[in-house]
Amino acid sequence: MSGDMLTIGAFAKACRLSPKALRLYDELELLRPARVDPDTGYRYYAVAQLERARLVAWLRRLGMPLAEIRTVCALDPPRAGAAIRAYWARVEAETAVRRDLAAFLVDQLTATPRKDTTMLELRYFAHSDRGRVRPANQDTAYAGARLLAVADGYGPAGGTASSAAVEALKVLDVREVPAGSVLNVLQEAVEGATAAVREVAGGSEEEAGTTLTAMLWTGSQLALVHIGDSRAYLLRDGALFRITHDHTVVQSMIDEGRLTPEEATAHPQAALLLKALTAGPSAAPDLRLHDARPGDRYLLCSDGLSGVVPDDGLRRVLGASPGPDAAVLSLVTAANEAGGPDNVSCVVADVVETGG
C-alpha cells in the first residue's frame, strides 16, 4: 500500500473522529474513503482527506446536521464560511425564541406581587388609517382596557382576515386573566385567531393572511404575542426599545449578515413574510412578558408606520405627545406626510397609576 494511505483506525485517530462515525459518513457519502479493498472491504483514506475530515469533526461539534455538513463541504472556502455564518445565525435566532419562552415561564412561575400598593392601569388609543395610496384598509387596530392589538392583512380578503384575527382576540379584553395562566390563555387566543383567519381564507394561503402583534394587560405585566412584521416598541425613560423581531425574509438576511439594515429598507422584497397567520401550517408566535412601570409608553404599529418613519422619528413623536390619542394621530400624520404607500395603524398605551 502506498505511503500516503491510512487505515481507518489511523485516519480516525488523526482527524479525531471514531471509525464508527467514519463508516457512517461513508454510507452518507459525506466522506468516502479513497480506496476500499475489494477482497477485505477495508477502507483506506488518503492523507489529503484529513483536512475535510477535520472540518466535518468541527462542524459536528457545532451541532450542524450531517445533511448540512455535506452541503458545506461541497463549497469553496469563502462560500463555506458564509454558509456556516448563516447556519449559526439560524441557531441564535431559534435560541432567542426559546430564551424568551424560558424567561416567560420563569416570570410566570416566580412572579411576586408588586411591593408598593399603587395600582396600575392603561390609558390607550388606537387608530387605523387607509393612507393616501391604497384603495382599501386591510389593517386592524384595537385598544381596550386589557388588550392592545395591530394586525396587517394581505391577499384579496386580507382586511377581513386582520379584523377576524383581532375580533377573536377580544375574548381577552373582557375577562380577568389569572397571573399564572397568561401563557396558556394567550396560546388559546392565538389558536382562536388562527382558526378565524383560516375560515376567512377558505383554505387558501393566497386568499388571505395577516400579521398579529398584541399585548395583554394583567394588572402588573404586559404579555406580548407576535407573528409577522408589525411591531411593538417601548418608550421608557426617554429611550425607545423595539421589543419585536420582524418575521421577514429581509430580517433573516440581516441576521445572517448578508444584508445591512440600510440595504434592507430599499430591498424589493422588504415586505415578504417568513411567518404570519395563514391557512397554511401554523407557525409559532413569539411570546414575551414585560413588567410594567408607571410612565412606560407602548407603541404597536403596522409596517405602514415603521416602514417610513425611522425609529428616531418614532421616539421624538412619542416623547413629545401629551397623551396616547395625540401620539397616535401624530404618528399616522407623520407616516402619510413621509409619503407612506401603505395603510397605517397605531396603538399607543401608557402605564399610569390608577386615578393618576
Q: Measuring CA to CA, which residue among 130, 61, 41 is closest to residue 335?
A: 130
* Min separation Cβ 315 and Mn ion, Å: 21
CB atoms closer than 10 angstroms to residue 109: 9
What is the C-alpha to C-alpha distance for residues 266 and 195, in angstroms, rounded to an integer?
34
* Min separation Cβ 204 and Mn ion, Å: 20
* Min separation Cβ 153 and Mn ion, Å: 9
Helix, coil or strand: residue 327: helix
Q: Which is nearer to Mn ion, 150 or 292 (CB)?
A: 150
- What is the distance, to the nearest Å, from the Cα of residue 42 to the centroid of all Cα atoms in its chain? 49
Helix, coil or strand: residue 23: helix
* Min separation Cβ 138 and Mn ion, Å: 7
Q: Which is nearer to Mn ion, 210 or 302 (CB)?
A: 302
Q: Which is nearer to Mn ion, 129 or 350 (CB)?
A: 129
Q: Which is nearer to Mn ion, 129 or 152 (CB)?
A: 152
Q: Which is nearer to Mn ion, 194 or 343 (CB)?
A: 343
* Min separation Cβ 72 and Mn ion, Å: 37
Q: Which is nearer to Mn ion, 108 or 244 (CB)?
A: 244
Q: Which is nearer to Mn ion, 255 or 303 (CB)?
A: 303
Q: Which are the contacts of 219, defined by CB distance < 8 A and separation ≥ 6?
A: 119, 120, 179
C-alpha cell at position 154:
394581505
**Under a CB-based contact definition with an 8 Å cutoff, are residues 150 and 348 in contact?**
no
**Matching residue, cell 395603510:** 343
Sign of CA pseudo-dihedral 184, 185, 186, 190: positive
What is the C-alpha to C-alpha distance for residues 211 and 301, in angstroms, rounded to an integer?
11
Chain residues binding Mn ion by CB under 5 A are 152, 302-304, 342
* Min separation Cβ 230 and Mn ion, Å: 8
CB atoms closer than 10 angstroms to residue 207: 17
* Min separation Cβ 350 and Mn ion, Å: 25
